[in-house]
Amino acid sequence: MSSTFDAVANIIAETCDIPRDTITPESHAIDDLGIDSLDFLDIAFAIDKAFGIKLPLEQWTQEVNDGKATTEQYFVLKNLCARIDELVAAKTA
Partner 1 sequence: MRPEVFKMVDRVVAIDPGLETIQCEGLVPEESSIFEGHFPGHPIMPGVLLIEAMAQTTGWLILARNRFEKMPFLATVKEAKLRTFVVPGQMLDLHSKILHEGSGFVVAQTKALIEGKPVCNAELVFRVLAWPEGRMKDVVMKVAERVEFPVADFANA
Binding site for partner 1 (CB under 8 A): 38, 41-42, 44-45, 48-49, 54-59, 61
Least spacing, CB of residue 83 vs partner 1, in Å = 12
Nearest distance from C-beta of residue 24 to partner 1, angstroms: 25
Shortest CB 90 distance to partner 1, Å: 15
Q: Which is nearer to partner 1, 22 or 34 (CB)?
A: 34
Distances, alpha carbon 87 to alpha carbons 33, 36, 69, in Å? 24, 23, 18
SS3 category, 76: strand
Specify the residue, 21 or 38, whose C-beta has the smaller distance to partner 1: 38
Nearest CB to partner 1, comparing residues 32 and 48: 48
Residue 68 has what DSSP assignment?
S
Partners of 28 in beta bridges: 76
What is the C-alpha to C-alpha distance for residues 5 and 83, in angstroms, rounded to an integer? Answer: 11
Shortest CB 29 distance to partner 1, Å: 16
Helix, strand, coil content of the chain in percent (nearest 5): 70, 0, 30
